[in-house]
A and B are shown apart, each in its own frame.
Chain A
Amino acid sequence: MANWLGTLLRLVLAGVFAASGLLKVADPTESVRAVQAYDLLPYGLARFVGYGLPFLEIAIALLLLVGLATRFAAGLAAVLLVVFICAVAAAWARGLTIDCGCFGGGGQVAQGDTKYVQEIGRDVALLAAAGWLVGRPRSRFAIDHIAHQEQAA
């Protein structure tokens, strides 16, 4: 039963990471601007993150989808989610009014249009899912356990 939960969490995380990555890949300029809006990185680094992060998200999504190195992939997802939570919290704490740019878009928004609570809440929920998989990476339909399941059969 828990193995099926692992599969479900893998697919949910994979779906969210794939969506966020793919939506950002379309517009690299926008992606860089979204990173810059956090006002944490100099342009050179923001550019690198803006270009690379969407692909890192897609790569993690692929690993989780097929269940390859699940613990590693989920751990990486958890690290990223912690970084996202810190970045959004930092923006909030400094009084910036930005969109997190989590699924494309991003940049500054009007004073009343920030969604920091929802953004952090969503990331915390995803972090819980990633945490479960780090602690218990075993799941059905995963490359990690194909050989194993055959042995057991």
Chain B
Amino acid sequence: MTLFETMGQMDSVSIGLWVTGLMLLLVVIGVRVAFAAAIAGFLGLLWVFSARMGFEKGFMVALKMAGTIPHSKVSTLALSLIPTFILIGYLAYHAGLTRALFEAAKRWVGWLPGGMGVATVFSAAGFAAVSGASVATSAVFARIAVPEMLKLGYDKRFAAGVVAASGTLASLIPPSAILVIYAIIVEQDVGALLMAGFLPGAFSALVYGGLVIAMATTRKRFGPPVRGFSWRQRFETLPGALPIFLVIGIIVVCIYGGVGTPTEAGSLGAFVILCMALYKGMSFADLKGALMETAKLTVMIFTIIWGVLLYVRFLGFADLPTAFSDWITNLDQSPMVTLVLILLAYAVLGMFMDAIGMLLLTLPVVYPAVIALNGGPDVTAAESAFGVSAVGCSIWFGIIVVKMAEFCLITPPIGLNCFVVAGVRPECSVQDVFRGVIPFFIADALTIAALVAMPGVVLWLPGLMGFS
């Protein structure tokens, strides 16, 4: 039997496994993720249709099918939210928000024990949320906040650790592009996901803040609080930091109150930040630069979306997700153990790959399996394995996976944020940053455990909106 005959007679699950294996091989040898998925998707379609109708006819069918996907998958209204969130992020740099936020936080919470550390946590959290960029936030605050902390006598390891960790608060608090991408891939409501991220994100920030206070009160020779600001001086800092609250507020109110679509909320947010940036004297060259960067990041995200959806189209013909779900639900262990193992696999994968690439590549196969573990797509909370309905499970899993992807950024030995902070601050070695980040790493691990154990924290806000 020739190779082609053998290939033609394979069952669909085997074809799915071969093609998926090929895709992973391409990713490992460094083919851009979007194109690795597109190559695998097209070859998979070609394989399936050639087996059914011969190579020539099969090639044309696969080609036509593949050719419609980039345009049709990208031109959906829900995706139009993504560039608005990205534009908010780039404009936020130009609106002078980083320094304004840090100054405001210093004056408002600096009096607490470890005050400068607490101020760093909250200002970085606010900026990370609006910019949506974990790594860049850590890099920026390493330049702003670390020198001030060192001046006050804070330990350099702590100062570097707090900055590296605070950047990771980017992806849960709205606006979050990655939650939008998750929602679209799993066909869940974008607004529900954005709302679901709010409490866990804010909770993570509070945990970090509380941790700094606890460390300051228990350890000797910790940096002193910053006192002596009058109320007048405090209120003076508010206008500069206001856009952050406005943007988060607009998005939360629009979506929660149902008075605007997510895209309208994102656009209003971008509009507010743009006015602020122009008011702060953003030049035409800066605006052009921000638009170019926005366009580039948008293209990157959209390319990987259609590339992966081409692969997903093929998966529809190869019953791989079903086979994987069957296998995983028949494992001889409790569904919770399986879920934890899946999350640990993400923790490892996230060290080697960007969060967006990791989620898009894995979710088409992993997500149906998680839903099946919980009891299937129509299960009610009472009958489910995790105590959440199918809709609840999809929202809850999204929040945990995204938190997990951020967690990877400070996981030794290759957490990217730690390398970035060490790169920006010559006085800190990478080991220093990893040492400093350990308390935050432990706190995050406990936060994730709490979110896994208590889906109610994640699902409360979406529940009020009618998603439960």
Asked whether A and B interact, the reply is: no
Residue positions of A touching B, CB distance < 8 A: none
Residue positions of B touching A, CB distance < 8 A: none
